[in-house]
Amino acid sequence: MSSAPSAYAEPVSRVKTTDPASAAALARLKAVLAHLGPVVVAFSGGADSALVAAVATEVLGSSRVLCATAVSASLAPDDQAHCADLAAEWGLRWVAVETHELDDPAYVRNDLDRCYYCKRELMDVLEPLATAEDATVALGVNLDDLSDHRPGQKAAAERGAVFPLVLAGLDKATVRNVSQAIRLSTWDRPATACLASRVPHGMPVTFGVLERVATAESSLHKLGFKALRVRHYGDVARIELPLEELARVLEVREEIVEAVRAAGYKYVTLDLEGFRSGNLSRAAAADGARL
């Protein structure tokens, strides 16, 4: 992949690309969105939802696209600020909406279907917006997501949400390629997930736990680490970083330990297998299959 172009700063209405493969994928996505009509985009600020939001706004116009970011204890404050910044920079019609998944005992229980209850709460909040906009709720789900255990997708689909990237046949690599081709600054943004994904299944999700994780990860971001996870095991924090960044850990070891302990952890550990998005769910599913 070529080096990254400058951050996207043009009006969304000028989104285009001359790369043939990216142009074909972009054309399919535009056709899907044009057919859908008005949409409320669940906007997390990641590569997937950002592409949907940008292209939908270009195809339908900002008056027919509302980008909504769900705000709760499971959203890192840095991610909320990122969404607000993107909306202002790209000229998106954007709103932050509060969700209350932690009020649901089924979510707090944190079994393998936690994401189902999370998306159910999200749809409870987005559906009234969609009704007011005479719109369909759209989520940034790509083809690759269909192969993982993603109960949240089921919850959203049951309530009528659509997945434009899937309908257009875009996997994660294509999402990134198209985003880079049309100069979206999110093209190489590391995969993000709600903070509850850092808590092993079976361990309750609480405000306190999510706050500790958010504080630890924010501190590590400030040390220059981008893609990372701080997995929560009570007093123990297990840090996942890309393999190519493990060598640097020793250079700033004391700063890492200080930052993570300041978040409330007694023990700071490093996972030598590196960064693996979604590994807690996959491990729990595998354990369940063996029982």
Number of H helices, E strands in the chain: 12, 7
Pick the CATH number of 195-290 from 3.30.300, 2.40.50, 2.60.120, 3.30.420: 3.30.300
Burial (CB count <10 Å: 0-12, 13-18, 19+), residue 128: exposed
Rounded (5°) CA angle 15-187-3: 100
Q: How far apart are CA 84 and CA 225, in angstroms?
A: 22
Q: What is the pLDDT of residues 7-29, one digit of tens each?
A: 333 445 456 666 788 999 999 99
Weakest mean pLDDT among 1-15, 107-121, 157-171:
1-15
The average confidence (pLDDT) of the chain is 91
Residue 186 pLDDT level (bands cut at 50, 70, 90):
very high
3-state secondary structure 57-78: HHHHCHHHEEEEEEECCCCCHH
CB 230 within 8 A of CB 220: yes
H/E stretch holding 285 reads: helix 279-290
CB 12 within 8 A of CB 34: no
pLDDT at 149: 81
Which pTM value belongs to this model?
0.88
Rounded (5°) CA angle 178-180-186: 105
Domain-by-domain residue ranges, the chain? Answer: 12-188, 195-290
DSSP category for residue 19: -
pLDDT above 60 for 5: no
Homologous superfamily (CATH) for 12-188:
HUPs (3.40.50.620)
pLDDT at 148: 75
267 beta partners: 236
